[in-house]
Amino acid sequence: MSFSAEVKEELAGKYSMARHCQIAEISAIIGMCGRIVSQGDKGTGLCIQTENAAVSKKCFTLLQKTFNIDTDIVITKNPYLKRGDVYTILVDNQEQAMRILQAVKLTASEGDVLHLSSHVVIQNSCCKRAFIRGAFLASGSISDPEKFYHFEIVCQTEGKAAQLQEVMQAFQIDAKIVLRKKSYVVYVKEGAQIVELLGLMEANVALMSLENIRILKEMRNSVNRQVNCETANIHKTVNAAVKQIQDIRLIEEKIGLDKLNSGLSEIARLRLEFPEATLKELGMMLAPQVGKSGVNHRLRKLSNLAQDLRGNKEEFL
């Protein structure tokens, strides 16, 4: 089971005690995957379809708990997928269907697309949380956090996406909207904000799992940065030492190390003898001892002298 499916499985088992929160959640579910259908002589009905068994079961239970409506879940094969079922809940009684839509404040516009017509359903903070949970159950997904962080809810219209974005922003969630084919996707990519969303939806098990993964990834990244930094410093030190030895060999060949003053001659011989030593270690070998800056100063003078010799200039010491 994917991480997204695990989150939905957990959320499908969460039921708010307050009726107003139940209405907010079912409003989001119906708004995302429900539509008004014509039934000929029987008038209009309400059809709710999903490809997730847990979501269909929760919607079925919420209809019973909230509106005391008994209906059936019809399972059919998805015509577009070889594997996968479609779960359909049909409220074929027109009076009951209209009662549900009126209670959850959904009206049809742009064909058979249902829109939230009043913010009274999501007036309370707890109802906003339930609404986000319902929207995610109906039309959301979350990536495997081991790979990358991505939370999204697909909406049919721009207005519906903007409405959902506004609800998320009430909790300081920086949700963004992008057009993907003919749908509008409300998404969040920042790991800490996805954790916040899981907490808002009460997916506590998934939240802890994601937090553990985030901690491990941050530790690995920190170690990798440190290793890369140390490796870069080692390469820098080695390259500098190689260049210093080349300079000293040139000076030795052209004029001889004995021709140098005692300070330069001493550090030149130590560098040749200890090519892997750091500046600090070289300074501790001198008598009297010299700090890193002093050693670096002497080696720089040797480098300048070698540069002059490469240019066929004469240096008098």
**Which domains are delineated in the chain?**
3-202 (3.10.28.10), 233-310 (no CATH)
- Report d(CA 86, CA 53) in Å as an integer: 8
Instruction: Indicate the helix (H) or strand (E) that contains 179.
Output: strand 176-180
Task: Report d(CA 113, CA 183) in Å as an integer.
Answer: 12
Residues 113 and 35: beta-carbon distance below 8 Å: yes
Which pLDDT belongs to residue 288?
87
- CA-to-CA distance for 36 and 160, rounded, in angstroms? 17
145: tokens are 């956090």
| Alpha-carbon gap, residue 113 to 106, rounded angstroms | 10
Q: What is this structure's pTM? A: 0.71
What token pair was written down for 16?
A: 């708010």
Token pair of 20, please?
């107003």
Per-residue pLDDT of the chain (317 residues; tens, 9 = 90+): 899 999 999 999 999 999 999 999 999 999 999 888 887 777 888 999 998 888 899 999 999 889 988 888 888 877 666 667 889 999 888 889 899 999 999 888 766 678 888 888 899 999 999 999 999 999 999 999 989 999 999 999 998 999 999 999 999 999 999 999 889 999 999 989 999 999 999 999 999 999 898 888 888 888 888 888 888 887 888 888 888 899 899 888 888 888 888 888 888 888 888 888 888 888 899 888 889 899 889 999 998 988 888 875 544 44
Cα 109 to Cα 249: distance, rounded to the nearest angstrom: 85
d(CA 121, CA 218): 39
